[in-house]
Amino acid sequence: MALSPVVGGGVAFAADANAAKAPKKLSAAKKKAAAKKRLLAGRDKRCREAATKRKLSFPQYRACLKNGKPARQSDATRTITKTVEKIVEKQVPGPAAPPAAPGKKAKNIILMIGDGMGVTHIDAARQRYYGAAGQLNMEKFPTLGTVSTYAVEPGSAKPNYVTDSASAATAWSSGVKTYNAALGVDAKGSVVPTLMELAKQAGFRTGNVSTAEITDATPAGQMSHALARGCQGPVYSTKACQDLEITGEELPTSDVRVTPIADQIARNGTADVILGGGLGRFDASDETALKQQGYAVLGSVAGQVPATKTDLAAAGGKKVFGLFNKGNLTVEKTKQENPSAPEAQEPSLPEMTRKAISLLGDKSSKGKGFYLQIEGALIDKRSHANDAAQTLEEIKA
């Protein structure tokens, strides 16, 4: 065999001068497989183009691959699609919304979240309490917009079309898509900064209010970084906190990503005002850490005595930590029907919100403004229980 040096693209290699042979003939089966592959590649290109231009849903895209072409939309469907696109793209002002002041920037930011609440929830609540022509307060806001809600698979950008509260909270608090159960980390498990952390660094005062446990996914998404949302505390658990699928090995307990969320909240000072439930997630060391940072701790963390609405009304100072139930707060209807029960001493979401705004907006604070996240968590909790009546009550609350 005679070898001769050949130079190609700046790289020297050896070629067999006698190696050129006639190409092998493909069998009938291989020819059929190759033809099918070309067919599917062509279909995939056409369907991807259709998905982009016509905004096909995932099931419609799959059907397109199967049939070779996208299904023809009805006139009614095309009309609805175009109408929705116009509303979203132009952000049509609500009919009762006052015009925005030209050129004036908002000093404070309040993010209000109805956990698990979709358009159908809003529609049902409006019909129930105000009738077809009525409006919920949230519908009086000056603009309307929508966002995509899908998560991604661990370690990749492949879409996971059903999200959870943790990946959703990470998306809106950091601008990064991640896998379900992840908080403050990307799809590969790397820490990403949250909006509340950035606001704090920029000199804003910060607050976090929820009717859920404050260590639950939605509020925790602004104040913590965790591979697994179940790592809430009060103690570390390998099963709850580690995720070997992401990291490939067990991380040391000193790594923030496997530090119980309660520990992080009690020590990182991300939120100046923290109001909600979840007292059972915190212990004596957390109370000590909070007080060392200057928080007024309502109730007793070490004694596991929940704070009350009376404690909240009397609270003052720049930093306040108040948890009003060992778990999630109680639905409003239950409190109204049992006024002598201990749960009736829990503040409502409006009461916590007003107090948080009052504390954060105190004129003695000379900051740039404040950033406050408010979560109506019980909408989701009652939806999980298929409790339509109390779901609507919580939306109204």
The pLDDT assigned to 149 comes to 81
CA 164 – CA 154 distance, rounded (Å): 13
The pLDDT assigned to 87 comes to 40
Taken as a whole, the chain contains a residue count of 397
CA 63 – CA 201 distance, rounded (Å): 49
CA 222 – CA 228 distance, rounded (Å): 15
User: What tens digit of pLDDT does each residue of 215-269 get?
Assistant: 999 999 999 999 999 999 999 999 999 999 999 999 999 999 999 999 999 999 9
Which stretches of the chain are DSSP H helices?
A: 28-54, 58-67, 75-90, 119-129, 165-174, 195-201, 217-223, 238-241, 244-247, 261-268, 284-292, 309-314, 332-337, 349-360, 378-384, 388-396
Residue numbers in the chain where pLDDT is lower than 50: 1-21, 76-77, 80-81, 83-97
Q: Which amino acid is at 219?
A: P
Q: Which amino acid is at 118?
A: G
* Residue 107 falls in which region: left (phi positive, over 0), alpha (psi -120 to 50) or beta: alpha
CA 326 – CA 276 distance, rounded (Å): 10
Q: Which amino acid is at 258?
A: V
User: What tens digit of pLDDT does each residue of 76-119 get?
Assistant: 445 544 544 444 344 444 444 455 566 778 889 999 999 999 88
Strands (E), 106-253: 109-114, 151-152, 159-160, 205-213
CA 214 – CA 47 distance, rounded (Å): 44
Closest CA to 194 of 156, 155, 221, 158: 221
CA 295 – CA 289 distance, rounded (Å): 9
Q: Which amino acid is at 349?
A: L
Catalytic option among 27, 57, 74, 165: 165
Record the tokens describing residue 312, joined without a space: 């909240």
The pLDDT assigned to 71 comes to 62
The pLDDT assigned to 342 comes to 86
Grouping H, G, I as helix, E, B as strand and the rest as coil, residue 276 is strand
Record the tokens describing residue 73, joined without a space: 């939309």
Helix axes 58-67, 28-54, angle to 10 degrees: 140
CA torsion angle 252 254 256 259 (round to 10): 90
The pLDDT assigned to 80 comes to 42
Grouping H, G, I as helix, E, B as strand and the rest as coil, residue 137 is helix
The pLDDT assigned to 104 comes to 75
Domains, in order of start, for the chain? 109-396 (3.40.720.10)
Q: Contact at 8 Å (CB) between 164 and 181? A: yes
Q: Is 174 a catalytic residue?
A: no
The pLDDT assigned to 7 comes to 35
